Amino acid sequence: MPPAKTASNQPAARRPAIGVFDSGVGGLTVLKELLRLVPGADYLYFGDTARLPYGSKSVDTVARYAVSAAHFLQKHHIDLLVVACNTATALAFDQIRQAIPMPAIGVVAPGADAAARASRNRRVVVLATEATIASHAYQRALAERKIATQEKPCPLFVPLVEEGWIEHPVTEQVARIYLDSVFNSQTQAADVLLLGCTHYPLLRPLLERLVPAGVSIVDSAESTAQAVRTHFQSLHLPAAGEGPYLRFFATDSVEKFRRLGERFLGRAIENVQHVDVEV
């Protein structure tokens, strides 16, 4: 990516390059928030669509896939890696950080930080995939912040979102069942609902209608973008200008990535390249 030119034809301050990695398209919700909160950077997004879902893989396999993706983005001279995959963050974040020389930010710690700040009664409900819940990554992170956690796996949310059934009556009924199991009169109610999957922000308007009064929703995708903005605050990023440079890589069908991904990113997706990566 060549440096931008000023009116005097001198190179402007170099825009940092941020690599965003996910097992599929869900991490595009993180990229969407990054484009809003950190417009002064350029972005490379890697979706490991040929090897998803990570949630059904062993810890060693997830780590191997995640590290190979990190190395791929490293070769494109990124300044920061954002691990936008909850499963990879939960199971392999330490291995990813050890494998690359640049800093990395995952989705778990920023989400836990935001939930801890938002909670008044120190009780949080975490909705996530079965693999993320089984890792108890959010539970551990919230316990470190003195927050009691109730975890709820929501295995039907991802396929419903990918089907495009965001406001479908079936999705609403499924959401009611999940929420009723964690917000009921027999438990001391939490006052924060943490969305621990990058697909779930698409369901936020629906969930906001269904949660009990007084419950706030924290989105780990937005929280992660805020953490990235904080990381770069001291660097005085250049103005957004005409907009960031975006480049996308997918390990499976480019057309499927583009078609499904546009729903998550909220804008047209161009410049997608099919790639193979070494394991």
Q: Which residues are catalytic?
A: 85, 197
Which one-letter DSSP state was computed for residue 4? P
Long-range contacts of 235-243 (CB under 8 A, 24+ apart): 235/16, 236/13, 237/13, 237/15, 237/16, 237/38, 237/40, 237/41, 238/4, 238/12, 238/13, 238/14, 238/15, 238/40, 239/40, 240/39, 240/40, 241/4, 243/39
Are the CB atoms for 143 and 149 separated by under 8 Å?
A: yes
- Outline where 119-168 has alpha helix (H): 130-135, 137-144, 157-163
What does the DSSP assignment read for 188-233?
A: PPPSEEEE-STTGGGGHHHHHHHSPTT-EEEEHHHHHHHHHHHHHG
Task: Identify which of 78, 64, 77 has the alpha carbon closest to the alpha carbon of residue 20.
Answer: 78
Length of the chain: 279
Spatial distance between the Cα atoms of 97 and 106, rounded to a whole number of angstroms: 10
Spatial distance between the Cα atoms of 53 and 82, rounded to a whole number of angstroms: 19
* Residue 184 burial by Cβ neighbours in a 10 Å radius (0-12, 13-18, 19+): exposed
